[in-house]
Amino acid sequence: MTAPRATGVPILRLGDVLITGLLNELDDQSAVAFTDELTERIAGDGARGVLIDISRLEIIDSFVARTLMELTTMARLLGARVIVAGMRPAVAITLVELGLQLTGVETALNAEQGLTAFGWHRMPRPAGEARRDAPR
């Protein structure tokens, strides 16, 4: 197995959840390398959830949108649920006007709410509660 190219983007592990974030200055090659690295980690760590913080992204163009959608699909195939957290208002408006909806990608207002959706609480929560899904 070849080691994925290091991208400098940290991927933290919290139980069975991986936490990472996208940087604004992500170029195409790094995005591809990041996708490789993250999928390796999901498989290797047996992660059930992935939280991607995008609050630093000043724009999302169709390339970044595609990266996020591919990541979500790949993670789902590997048995992990992806939540994208912290999209800026201006970015959300632009994405919608651009005609992109990040189909199938779950979203959360910020990292904390994303983690809440993954079941990280200070108090135990009842099992089987419904979760809120992203736009279809």
Partner 1 sequence: MNTSESSVRDRLCEALREREEEIADRWVRLQLEQAVLSTDMSEHEVREEADLLISALAAGLASDVPVERLVTSRNELRQTVIELSLRRARAGASPTATSLAVLSLKEALLSAVQHTTRDSGELYSTAILVNRLLDAAGVLSFETYVEGREEIIQRQSRQLLEVSTPVVRLWRHVLAVPLIGTLDTARTQVVMESLLQAIQDNEAQVAIIDITGVPAVDTAVAQHLMHTVNAVRLMGADCVISGIRPPIAQTIAQLGIDLSTILTRATLADALAAAIRLTDQPAVGQDAGTAGSVTA
Partner 2 sequence: MTLHGERVAGSELIAQRSAPAGPTVAAARTADRAGARSTASGTSAESGAPGVSGGAFADPGPLPGGPGRSSRFNVASEEDLLTVRHAVRAATVEAGFGLVDQTRIVTAASELARNAYVHGGGGSLEIEMPTRSGRRGLRLTVRDDGPGIPDLDQALTDGFTTGTGLGHGLGGARRLMHEFQVHSRPGEGTTVVVARWNDR
- Which region among 5-13, 14-22, 28-36, 117-125 touches partner 1 (by CB under 8 A)? 117-125
Contact between residue 60 and residue 94 where contact means Cβ atoms under 8 Å apart: yes
> Choosing among partner 2, partner 1, none, which partner's interface includes residue 98 (Cβ < 5 to 8 Å by kind)?
partner 2
Q: Of the candidates 65, 78, 2, 73, which has an alpha carbon nearest to the alpha carbon of residue 33?
A: 2
Residue with Cβ nearer partner 1 (6 or 93): 93
Of 114, 115, 127, 128, the residue at the interface with partner 1 (CB under 8 A) is 114
Of 1, 3, 127, 130, the residue at the interface with partner 1 (CB under 8 A) is 130
Neighbours of 58 (CB within 10 A): 9
Residue 134 sits in the site that holds partner 2 (CB under 8 A)? no
Distance, first Cα to last Cα, the chain: 36
6, 9, 15, 17 alpha-carbon torsion, rounded to 10° = -110
Binding stretches for partner 2 (CB under 8 A): 25, 27-29, 58-63, 65-66, 88-91, 93-94, 97-100
